[in-house]
Chains A and B, each alone.
Chain A
């Protein structure tokens, strides 16, 4: 029972263009959502988050959008850079439990 789903295993984008990573969730009790980035041979690192009372949060090139009615969130990266190539995990928080999606591999081509 995957409560957090990232349906695209991979995404390839040209440098300078927008990358859009998507995430769907099923549990309406989630009240906080996060995106983590992971490079090979390293642990995930926190990227950006959003509370369930908001619909958008922006930090530099990264913007997260939350659509609660659709139980969907997305991460936009503009403009995409080769250094953004990594695995991106969506995560959702309910109380003290943080549930992760399966991840999306982003490749930014130069």
Chain B
């Protein structure tokens, strides 16, 4: 089954404790992206990647890192999480240009 898989689905952590949210797609897509969803703000892009070893900042990249060492994986790294990073995170992929995007089921992160 074609899908984008994120792990974990839920995560509660404390300020400053490094964490990684994994994302993997099995559709051989070149384009991958991370979004965060916050009430009243919709989905805002954090980082995106056009292909392996090619990443670029989205609209809200501060406090996040990504890597694209393999085509299928695009992990999101929070080196020192803060409470304002409490959010619902979505990973997405598409064949090339981001249209249409296939989304994972989300990771709800709480930073206390």
User: Which of B13-21, B61-69, B75-83, B102-110 is found at the contact surface with chain A?
Assistant: B102-110
User: Which of A53-61, A64-72, A78-86, A96-104 is found at the contact surface with chain B?
Assistant: A96-104
Q: How many residues of B contact A (CB 8 A)?
A: 27
Interface 1/0 per residue, A40-52 and B, CB below 8 Å: 0111111001000
B4 near A: Cβ within 8 Å?
yes
Q: Is the interface of A mostly helix, strand, loop or mixed?
A: strand
Point out the residue from A9, A46, A89 that lies within 8 Å of B43, measured CB to CB. Answer: A89
With A43-B105, A45-B103 in contact, is A97–B4 under 8 Å at CB?
no
CB-defined contacts of A101 to chain B, threshold 8 Å: 42
Q: Is the interface of B mostly helix, strand, loop or mixed?
A: strand
Determine the distance from Cα of A21 to Cα of B22 in the docked complex, in whole angstroms: 34
Are B40 and A96 in contact, CB atoms less than 8 angstroms apart? no
Point out the residue from B33, B41, B43, B50 that lies within 8 Å of A44, measured CB to CB. Answer: B43
CB nearest to B31 among chain A residues: A96
Name the distance in Å between B103's Cβ and chain A's nearest Cβ. Answer: 3
Interface centre among B35, B45, B98 (most CB of A within 10 A): B98
CB nearest to B33 among chain A residues: A98
Are B106 and A98 in contact, CB atoms less than 8 angstroms apart? no
Q: A43-B106, A100-B42 are in contact. List 4 more A-B contacts (CB 8 A).
A: A36-B100, A93-B98, A96-B56, A100-B44
Q: What are 6 inter-chain pairs, A to B, with CB distance below 8 A?
A: A36-B103, A43-B106, A91-B43, A96-B48, A96-B50, A98-B99
Binding site for B on A (CB under 8 A): 4, 6, 9, 32, 34, 36, 41-46, 49, 89, 91, 93, 96-103
The 8 closest A-B pairs by CB, nearest first: A43-B103, A46-B100, A102-B42, A100-B43, A98-B98, A100-B42, A44-B103, A43-B105
